[in-house]
A and B are shown apart, each in its own frame.
Chain A
Amino acid sequence: EAQVTQNPRYLITVTGKKLTVTCSQNMNHEYMSWYRQDPGLGLRQIYYSMNVEVTDKGDVPEGYKVSRKEKRNFPLILESPSPNQTSLYFCASSTYSGQGAYGYTFGSGTRLTVV
C-alpha cells in the first residue's frame, strides 16, 4: 500500500530534550515536506526537500532541522524543543516535475506536546 509513515503518532516531551520525528514513504517520491498545523493558522511549511541531499527552508524553519540522506526518509529534528513547538505535525511526499510538486500524500500526523 502506498503510504507515508510517521512515528510517533503522539509525543509528550519536556523543554530542551532533543527529539526526532521519523517520516518514510514507499512511493519513490522525489519531493518531501514537513508542515505544522495550528488552530487558526492552518498548515505552515517547515522544511522541504526536492531530492536526496537537497533541502530548503519553508515559512517557519526556526527551531527545526531536517536531513535527506535517503530518498524514502525525511526525519524532523527538534534539537531543543520549546512549548511554542507544541503542534500537530504532518509529513508529506509527492512526485515533482517542471510545474512543481504534484498533490501531496500526507502521513497520519504527529501530535507533539512540549511541557
Chain B
Amino acid sequence: QKEVEQNSGPLSVPEGAIASLNCTYSDRGSQSFFWYRQYSGKSPELIMSIYSNGDKEDGRFTAQLNKASQYVSLLIRDSQPSDSATYLCAVNVEYGNKLVFGAGTILRVKS
C-alpha cells in the first residue's frame, strides 16, 4: 500500500463550482498534512497546511482532516480556470522526518 494515495484524475469541474480533492494516508502517527499546487512545468507551491482534525479555511480553500479515517481533503470554492493544475497531498511520516507526497490529482476547471 502506498503511503499517500490520491485519485490521479483528471477531475473536471465547471467554472464557479466546488472542486473536491481527496487523499488517504497509511501512517497513523502522522501529525502534519499539506496541500500543494503545481502548474505544468513549475515547482510545487504550498497552499494549505492542517494539523488538527476538522476544517481549516483560507479564502476559497478549505482543508479537512479526519485522523481516525486517515483522510485529508481539499475543497476549492468558486473554482476558476486559473485553478487548473495538479494538486499534491503531502504527509509527514516517521515522526516528522520525512514528507511523503501523493502522485497528485489533475484538476481542470472549464470556463
Q: Which residues of A contact B (CB under 8 A)?
A: 33, 35, 40-45, 48, 50, 56, 58-59, 90, 96, 98-109
Asked if B96 is an interface residue, CB under 8 A from chain A, the answer is yes
Which of B9-17, B41-49, B61-69, B77-85 sits within the interface?
B41-49
Bound complex: CA A45 to CA B98 (Å): 8
Bound complex: CA A35 to CA B58 (Å): 27
CB atoms of B96 and A42 under 8 A apart: no
A-B contact pairs, 23 of them (CB 8 A): A35-B101, A40-B103, A42-B103, A43-B88, A43-B101, A45-B100, A48-B97, A90-B43, A98-B96, A100-B97, A101-B32, A101-B92, A101-B99, A104-B34, A104-B36, A104-B46, A106-B43, A106-B44, A106-B45, A107-B43, A108-B42, A108-B43, A109-B43
